[in-house]
Amino acid sequence: MSKFWSDVVHKLTPYVPGEQPKLNNLVKLNTNENPYGPSPQVIKALKLEATDSLRLYPDPNSDALKAAIAQTYQLNANQVFVGNGSDEVLAHVFQALLKHDKPLFFPDITYSFYPVYCGLYGIEYKTIPLSENFEIEVEDYRQANGGIIFPNPNAPTGIPLPLIEIERLLKRNTESVVVIDEAYVDFGTESAVGLINQYPNLLVTHTLSKARSLAGLRVGYAVGSIELIEALVRVKDSFNSYPIDRFASAGAVAAMQDVEYFDKTRNQVITTRNALIQDLTNLGFETLPSGANFIFTKHQTHDAVDLTSKLREKNIIVRHFQSPSRIAPYLRITIGTDAQSKLLIDALTQILRN
Protein backbone atom coordinates (compact mmCIF):
# COMPACT_ATOMS: atom_id res chain seq x y z
CA MET A 1 0.00 0.00 0.00
CA SER A 2 1.12 3.56 -0.67
CA LYS A 3 0.94 6.69 1.43
CA PHE A 4 -0.12 8.48 -1.75
CA TRP A 5 -3.34 6.51 -2.11
CA SER A 6 -6.64 8.13 -1.21
CA ASP A 7 -8.83 6.63 1.52
CA VAL A 8 -11.15 5.28 -1.19
CA VAL A 9 -8.35 3.31 -2.85
CA HIS A 10 -7.23 1.78 0.46
CA LYS A 11 -10.74 0.46 1.07
CA LEU A 12 -11.39 -0.97 -2.41
CA THR A 13 -11.57 -4.68 -3.14
CA PRO A 14 -11.38 -4.76 -6.95
CA TYR A 15 -13.31 -7.13 -9.19
CA VAL A 16 -11.27 -10.15 -10.35
CA PRO A 17 -12.03 -11.03 -13.99
CA GLY A 18 -11.87 -14.54 -15.35
CA GLU A 19 -8.40 -15.83 -16.09
CA GLN A 20 -7.03 -15.21 -19.59
CA PRO A 21 -4.23 -17.81 -19.77
CA LYS A 22 -1.83 -17.82 -22.71
CA LEU A 23 -1.58 -21.54 -23.39
CA ASN A 24 -1.46 -23.44 -26.66
CA ASN A 25 -4.34 -25.74 -27.62
CA LEU A 26 -6.47 -24.36 -24.80
CA VAL A 27 -10.17 -25.18 -24.47
CA LYS A 28 -11.22 -21.92 -22.81
CA LEU A 29 -14.59 -22.27 -21.11
CA ASN A 30 -14.20 -19.81 -18.22
CA THR A 31 -15.12 -16.28 -19.36
CA ASN A 32 -18.42 -16.69 -21.25
CA GLU A 33 -17.04 -15.50 -24.58
CA ASN A 34 -18.92 -16.48 -27.71
CA PRO A 35 -17.32 -19.48 -29.46
CA TYR A 36 -18.21 -18.01 -32.84
CA GLY A 37 -16.60 -14.97 -34.41
CA PRO A 38 -18.51 -11.77 -35.13
CA SER A 39 -20.67 -11.25 -38.18
CA PRO A 40 -18.71 -10.96 -41.45
CA GLN A 41 -20.42 -7.59 -41.81
CA VAL A 42 -18.58 -6.44 -38.67
CA ILE A 43 -15.19 -7.34 -40.16
CA LYS A 44 -16.11 -5.51 -43.36
CA ALA A 45 -17.18 -2.41 -41.42
CA LEU A 46 -13.95 -2.39 -39.39
CA LYS A 47 -11.83 -2.54 -42.53
CA LEU A 48 -13.76 0.36 -44.05
CA GLU A 49 -13.17 2.40 -40.90
CA ALA A 50 -9.38 2.06 -41.14
CA THR A 51 -8.82 5.33 -42.97
CA ASP A 52 -7.26 8.75 -42.46
CA SER A 53 -10.40 9.73 -40.51
CA LEU A 54 -8.90 8.03 -37.43
CA ARG A 55 -7.08 11.32 -36.79
CA LEU A 56 -10.48 12.81 -35.91
CA TYR A 57 -12.46 12.29 -32.72
CA PRO A 58 -15.46 9.96 -32.96
CA ASP A 59 -19.03 11.21 -32.64
CA PRO A 60 -19.40 12.01 -28.91
CA ASN A 61 -23.11 11.14 -29.07
CA SER A 62 -22.66 7.87 -31.01
CA ASP A 63 -25.76 8.76 -32.99
CA ALA A 64 -25.42 5.99 -35.60
CA LEU A 65 -25.08 3.32 -32.91
CA LYS A 66 -27.94 4.69 -30.84
CA ALA A 67 -30.11 4.69 -33.95
CA ALA A 68 -29.25 1.05 -34.72
CA ILE A 69 -30.06 -0.02 -31.16
CA ALA A 70 -33.27 2.01 -31.09
CA GLN A 71 -34.41 0.46 -34.36
CA THR A 72 -33.76 -3.03 -32.98
CA TYR A 73 -36.13 -2.46 -30.05
CA GLN A 74 -38.59 0.00 -31.63
CA LEU A 75 -37.49 2.79 -29.28
CA ASN A 76 -36.43 6.38 -29.77
CA ALA A 77 -32.73 7.18 -29.92
CA ASN A 78 -33.01 9.38 -26.81
CA GLN A 79 -33.99 6.24 -24.89
CA VAL A 80 -30.57 4.70 -25.57
CA PHE A 81 -27.25 5.18 -23.76
CA VAL A 82 -23.99 3.61 -24.96
CA GLY A 83 -20.68 3.04 -23.23
CA ASN A 84 -17.33 1.28 -23.31
CA GLY A 85 -18.67 -2.16 -22.44
CA SER A 86 -21.64 -2.79 -20.19
CA ASP A 87 -19.34 -2.59 -17.17
CA GLU A 88 -18.75 1.10 -17.87
CA VAL A 89 -22.47 1.58 -18.48
CA LEU A 90 -23.20 -0.07 -15.13
CA ALA A 91 -20.59 2.10 -13.40
CA HIS A 92 -22.44 5.20 -14.60
CA VAL A 93 -25.76 3.63 -13.57
CA PHE A 94 -24.53 3.11 -10.01
CA GLN A 95 -23.32 6.70 -9.76
CA ALA A 96 -26.24 8.38 -11.54
CA LEU A 97 -29.25 6.35 -10.42
CA LEU A 98 -28.45 4.04 -7.50
CA LYS A 99 -26.73 6.26 -4.93
CA HIS A 100 -29.42 7.30 -2.45
CA ASP A 101 -30.07 7.46 1.28
CA LYS A 102 -31.69 4.02 1.34
CA PRO A 103 -29.63 0.89 0.53
CA LEU A 104 -29.34 -0.62 -2.91
CA PHE A 105 -30.68 -4.19 -3.15
CA PHE A 106 -29.17 -7.05 -5.15
CA PRO A 107 -28.97 -10.85 -4.71
CA ASP A 108 -26.43 -12.42 -2.37
CA ILE A 109 -25.20 -14.59 -5.24
CA THR A 110 -24.85 -12.47 -8.35
CA TYR A 111 -22.40 -10.52 -10.51
CA SER A 112 -19.53 -9.74 -8.18
CA PHE A 113 -18.87 -6.32 -9.72
CA TYR A 114 -21.94 -4.89 -7.94
CA PRO A 115 -20.38 -4.64 -4.47
CA VAL A 116 -17.20 -3.29 -6.09
CA TYR A 117 -19.14 -0.38 -7.60
CA CYS A 118 -20.77 0.23 -4.23
CA GLY A 119 -17.36 0.47 -2.62
CA LEU A 120 -16.06 2.78 -5.32
CA TYR A 121 -19.01 5.18 -5.13
CA GLY A 122 -19.80 4.90 -1.42
CA ILE A 123 -23.19 3.25 -1.90
CA GLU A 124 -24.83 1.42 0.98
CA TYR A 125 -26.22 -1.94 -0.12
CA LYS A 126 -28.12 -4.94 1.16
CA THR A 127 -27.95 -8.41 -0.35
CA ILE A 128 -31.16 -10.40 -0.66
CA PRO A 129 -30.66 -14.18 -0.36
CA LEU A 130 -31.60 -16.37 -3.27
CA SER A 131 -34.02 -19.20 -2.54
CA GLU A 132 -32.84 -22.72 -1.74
CA ASN A 133 -33.08 -23.39 -5.48
CA PHE A 134 -30.90 -20.33 -6.26
CA GLU A 135 -33.86 -18.38 -7.61
CA ILE A 136 -34.66 -14.67 -7.19
CA GLU A 137 -37.84 -14.20 -5.14
CA VAL A 138 -39.29 -10.78 -6.01
CA GLU A 139 -41.40 -10.72 -2.85
CA ASP A 140 -38.18 -10.44 -0.84
CA TYR A 141 -37.50 -7.06 -2.49
CA ARG A 142 -40.68 -5.48 -1.11
CA GLN A 143 -38.82 -3.24 1.32
CA ALA A 144 -37.83 0.41 1.23
CA ASN A 145 -34.76 0.68 -0.98
CA GLY A 146 -32.62 3.10 -2.95
CA GLY A 147 -32.70 0.91 -6.04
CA ILE A 148 -32.71 -2.71 -7.19
CA ILE A 149 -30.32 -4.40 -9.61
CA PHE A 150 -29.85 -7.99 -10.72
CA PRO A 151 -28.83 -9.87 -13.87
CA ASN A 152 -31.42 -11.79 -15.83
CA PRO A 153 -30.46 -14.55 -16.27
CA ASN A 154 -28.57 -14.33 -13.01
CA ALA A 155 -24.83 -14.85 -12.84
CA PRO A 156 -23.12 -17.12 -12.09
CA THR A 157 -26.13 -19.44 -11.76
CA GLY A 158 -27.62 -18.81 -15.23
CA ILE A 159 -31.17 -19.13 -13.89
CA PRO A 160 -33.68 -16.85 -15.68
CA LEU A 161 -36.42 -14.90 -13.93
CA PRO A 162 -39.70 -14.98 -15.90
CA LEU A 163 -40.85 -11.66 -17.32
CA ILE A 164 -44.11 -11.89 -15.38
CA GLU A 165 -42.09 -11.82 -12.15
CA ILE A 166 -40.13 -8.75 -13.26
CA GLU A 167 -43.37 -6.96 -14.03
CA ARG A 168 -44.75 -7.96 -10.64
CA LEU A 169 -41.71 -6.35 -9.05
CA LEU A 170 -42.08 -3.19 -11.12
CA LYS A 171 -45.75 -2.80 -10.18
CA ARG A 172 -44.87 -2.84 -6.50
CA ASN A 173 -41.55 -0.97 -6.60
CA THR A 174 -42.36 2.42 -8.10
CA GLU A 175 -40.25 4.79 -5.97
CA SER A 176 -36.77 3.65 -7.02
CA VAL A 177 -34.96 2.52 -10.15
CA VAL A 178 -35.00 -1.15 -11.10
CA VAL A 179 -32.03 -2.19 -13.26
CA ILE A 180 -32.16 -5.49 -15.15
CA ASP A 181 -28.69 -6.46 -16.33
CA GLU A 182 -29.38 -8.54 -19.45
CA ALA A 183 -25.83 -9.44 -20.45
CA TYR A 184 -26.88 -13.03 -21.26
CA VAL A 185 -30.54 -12.57 -22.14
CA ASP A 186 -30.22 -13.53 -25.81
CA PHE A 187 -29.57 -17.20 -25.05
CA GLY A 188 -33.10 -18.12 -24.06
CA THR A 189 -34.36 -15.62 -21.46
CA GLU A 190 -37.26 -13.18 -21.90
CA SER A 191 -36.07 -9.57 -22.18
CA ALA A 192 -37.64 -6.77 -20.15
CA VAL A 193 -36.99 -4.16 -22.86
CA GLY A 194 -40.64 -4.35 -23.93
CA LEU A 195 -41.70 -3.00 -20.52
CA ILE A 196 -39.65 0.21 -20.71
CA ASN A 197 -42.40 2.50 -22.00
CA GLN A 198 -44.76 1.17 -19.32
CA TYR A 199 -42.45 1.63 -16.34
CA PRO A 200 -40.40 4.87 -16.24
CA ASN A 201 -38.20 3.54 -13.42
CA LEU A 202 -37.01 0.51 -15.45
CA LEU A 203 -33.52 0.51 -16.97
CA VAL A 204 -32.23 -2.46 -18.98
CA THR A 205 -28.53 -2.93 -19.77
CA HIS A 206 -27.02 -5.04 -22.56
CA THR A 207 -23.60 -5.92 -23.91
CA LEU A 208 -22.35 -6.78 -27.38
CA SER A 209 -19.66 -9.00 -25.86
CA LYS A 210 -21.75 -12.17 -25.63
CA ALA A 211 -24.43 -12.88 -28.22
CA ARG A 212 -22.85 -10.55 -30.79
CA SER A 213 -19.28 -11.80 -30.30
CA LEU A 214 -17.70 -8.39 -29.73
CA ALA A 215 -15.97 -8.78 -26.36
CA GLY A 216 -12.82 -7.35 -27.96
CA LEU A 217 -14.50 -4.10 -29.04
CA ARG A 218 -16.02 -3.21 -25.65
CA VAL A 219 -19.51 -1.91 -26.37
CA GLY A 220 -22.49 -1.89 -24.02
CA TYR A 221 -25.72 0.04 -23.76
CA ALA A 222 -28.70 0.84 -21.60
CA VAL A 223 -32.29 1.50 -22.64
CA GLY A 224 -34.92 3.21 -20.57
CA SER A 225 -37.00 6.35 -20.13
CA ILE A 226 -35.64 9.68 -21.38
CA GLU A 227 -35.27 10.81 -17.77
CA LEU A 228 -33.05 7.88 -16.81
CA ILE A 229 -30.95 8.14 -19.95
CA GLU A 230 -30.41 11.86 -19.40
CA ALA A 231 -28.93 11.12 -15.97
CA LEU A 232 -26.45 8.69 -17.53
CA VAL A 233 -25.48 11.19 -20.23
CA ARG A 234 -24.79 13.84 -17.58
CA VAL A 235 -22.42 11.48 -15.77
CA LYS A 236 -20.76 10.31 -19.00
CA ASP A 237 -20.14 13.86 -20.20
CA SER A 238 -18.60 14.66 -16.81
CA PHE A 239 -16.27 11.66 -17.16
CA ASN A 240 -15.44 10.90 -20.82
CA SER A 241 -17.10 12.57 -23.79
CA TYR A 242 -15.80 9.95 -26.27
CA PRO A 243 -16.23 6.45 -24.78
CA ILE A 244 -17.08 4.78 -28.12
CA ASP A 245 -14.24 4.92 -30.67
CA ARG A 246 -14.70 4.81 -34.43
CA PHE A 247 -13.97 1.08 -34.76
CA ALA A 248 -16.26 0.14 -31.88
CA SER A 249 -19.10 2.22 -33.30
CA ALA A 250 -18.77 0.87 -36.84
CA GLY A 251 -18.50 -2.72 -35.68
CA ALA A 252 -21.37 -2.43 -33.24
CA VAL A 253 -23.70 -0.90 -35.83
CA ALA A 254 -22.95 -3.75 -38.24
CA ALA A 255 -23.49 -6.34 -35.49
CA MET A 256 -26.86 -4.88 -34.51
CA GLN A 257 -28.01 -4.81 -38.12
CA ASP A 258 -27.01 -8.38 -39.04
CA VAL A 259 -29.97 -10.05 -37.35
CA GLU A 260 -29.70 -13.25 -39.40
CA TYR A 261 -26.15 -13.97 -38.19
CA PHE A 262 -27.09 -13.03 -34.62
CA ASP A 263 -29.99 -15.50 -34.60
CA LYS A 264 -27.96 -18.26 -36.26
CA THR A 265 -25.07 -18.18 -33.78
CA ARG A 266 -27.09 -17.71 -30.60
CA ASN A 267 -29.38 -20.58 -31.57
CA GLN A 268 -26.33 -22.76 -32.13
CA VAL A 269 -25.09 -21.91 -28.63
CA ILE A 270 -28.49 -22.84 -27.18
CA THR A 271 -28.49 -26.17 -29.03
CA THR A 272 -24.96 -26.98 -27.84
CA ARG A 273 -25.87 -25.98 -24.27
CA ASN A 274 -28.85 -28.32 -24.17
CA ALA A 275 -26.80 -31.22 -25.53
CA LEU A 276 -23.99 -30.55 -23.05
CA ILE A 277 -26.39 -30.55 -20.10
CA GLN A 278 -27.68 -33.97 -21.16
CA ASP A 279 -24.15 -35.35 -21.57
CA LEU A 280 -23.21 -34.04 -18.11
CA THR A 281 -26.34 -35.57 -16.61
CA ASN A 282 -25.24 -38.93 -17.99
CA LEU A 283 -21.95 -38.47 -16.12
CA GLY A 284 -23.66 -37.78 -12.79
CA PHE A 285 -23.73 -33.98 -12.86
CA GLU A 286 -26.65 -31.86 -11.64
CA THR A 287 -27.07 -28.67 -13.66
CA LEU A 288 -29.18 -25.65 -12.79
CA PRO A 289 -31.68 -24.40 -15.43
CA SER A 290 -29.84 -22.00 -17.74
CA GLY A 291 -30.99 -19.16 -19.96
CA ALA A 292 -27.41 -18.07 -20.61
CA ASN A 293 -24.37 -19.07 -22.67
CA PHE A 294 -22.97 -20.90 -19.64
CA ILE A 295 -24.12 -23.51 -17.17
CA PHE A 296 -23.71 -23.95 -13.41
CA THR A 297 -23.22 -27.59 -12.57
CA LYS A 298 -21.98 -29.89 -9.82
CA HIS A 299 -21.10 -33.55 -9.64
CA GLN A 300 -22.92 -35.76 -7.19
CA THR A 301 -19.73 -37.16 -5.64
CA HIS A 302 -16.65 -35.37 -7.03
CA ASP A 303 -15.20 -32.15 -5.59
CA ALA A 304 -15.34 -29.04 -7.82
CA VAL A 305 -11.82 -27.89 -6.92
CA ASP A 306 -10.40 -31.27 -7.86
CA LEU A 307 -12.35 -31.36 -11.13
CA THR A 308 -11.18 -27.85 -12.02
CA SER A 309 -7.56 -28.79 -11.38
CA LYS A 310 -7.71 -32.03 -13.34
CA LEU A 311 -9.43 -30.35 -16.29
CA ARG A 312 -6.70 -27.72 -16.32
CA GLU A 313 -4.10 -30.49 -16.58
CA LYS A 314 -5.88 -31.42 -19.79
CA ASN A 315 -5.79 -27.78 -21.04
CA ILE A 316 -9.48 -27.20 -20.33
CA ILE A 317 -10.27 -24.08 -18.27
CA VAL A 318 -13.59 -23.68 -16.43
CA ARG A 319 -14.52 -21.24 -13.65
CA HIS A 320 -14.89 -22.12 -9.98
CA PHE A 321 -16.06 -19.77 -7.21
CA GLN A 322 -14.89 -20.53 -3.67
CA SER A 323 -17.45 -18.24 -2.06
CA PRO A 324 -20.14 -18.01 -0.95
CA SER A 325 -19.88 -21.53 0.40
CA ARG A 326 -23.15 -22.83 -1.01
CA ILE A 327 -21.93 -22.37 -4.60
CA ALA A 328 -18.48 -23.87 -3.92
CA PRO A 329 -19.56 -27.34 -5.20
CA TYR A 330 -20.40 -25.88 -8.63
CA LEU A 331 -18.46 -25.29 -11.82
CA ARG A 332 -19.42 -22.53 -14.23
CA ILE A 333 -18.82 -23.75 -17.76
CA THR A 334 -19.03 -21.50 -20.81
CA ILE A 335 -20.78 -23.02 -23.82
CA GLY A 336 -18.24 -23.53 -26.57
CA THR A 337 -18.47 -25.26 -29.91
CA ASP A 338 -19.73 -28.82 -30.28
CA ALA A 339 -16.10 -29.91 -30.69
CA GLN A 340 -15.10 -28.20 -27.44
CA SER A 341 -18.03 -29.82 -25.64
CA LYS A 342 -16.87 -33.21 -26.84
CA LEU A 343 -13.34 -32.56 -25.55
CA LEU A 344 -14.80 -31.52 -22.20
CA ILE A 345 -17.02 -34.60 -21.91
CA ASP A 346 -14.19 -36.92 -22.97
CA ALA A 347 -11.90 -35.35 -20.37
CA LEU A 348 -14.49 -35.58 -17.60
CA THR A 349 -15.23 -39.20 -18.52
CA GLN A 350 -11.54 -40.04 -18.06
CA ILE A 351 -11.27 -38.06 -14.80
CA LEU A 352 -14.35 -39.67 -13.26
CA ARG A 353 -13.07 -43.16 -14.07
CA ASN A 354 -9.88 -42.65 -12.04
Kindly report, residue by residue over 273-320, the tens digit of the pLDDT.
999 999 999 999 999 999 999 999 999 999 999 999 999 999 999 999
CA end-to-end distance (rounded Å), the chain:
45
Give the pLDDT score at 323: 85
> Given pLDDT bands bounded at 50, 70 and 90, which one contains residue 23?
low
* pLDDT tens for each residue of 126-178: 999 999 999 999 999 999 999 999 999 999 999 999 999 999 999 999 999 99
Give CA 255 to chain center in angstroms: 17
Q: Examine the pLDDT at 12 and tell me if it is beyond 90.
A: no
Give the pLDDT score at 71: 97
Class of domain 15-37+260-353: alpha beta
For the chain, give every domain's residue range. 15-37+260-353, 40-257
Give the pLDDT score at 170: 98
Q: Kindly give the interhelix angle for 259-282 and 338-353, rounded to the nearest 10 degrees.
A: 10
d(Cα 125, Cα 127) in Å, to the nearest integer?
Answer: 7
d(Cα 145, Cα 14) in Å, to the nearest integer?
Answer: 25
Residue 339 Cα distances to 151, 274, 336, 344, angstroms: 29, 14, 8, 9
d(Cα 197, Cα 225) in Å, to the nearest integer?
Answer: 7
| pTM reported for the whole predicted model | 0.95
* pLDDT tens for each residue of 192-233: 999 999 999 999 999 999 999 999 999 999 999 999 999 999
Element (H, E) at 311: helix 304-313
Give the pLDDT score at 16: 74
Q: Provide CATH code, domain 40-257.
A: 3.40.640.10
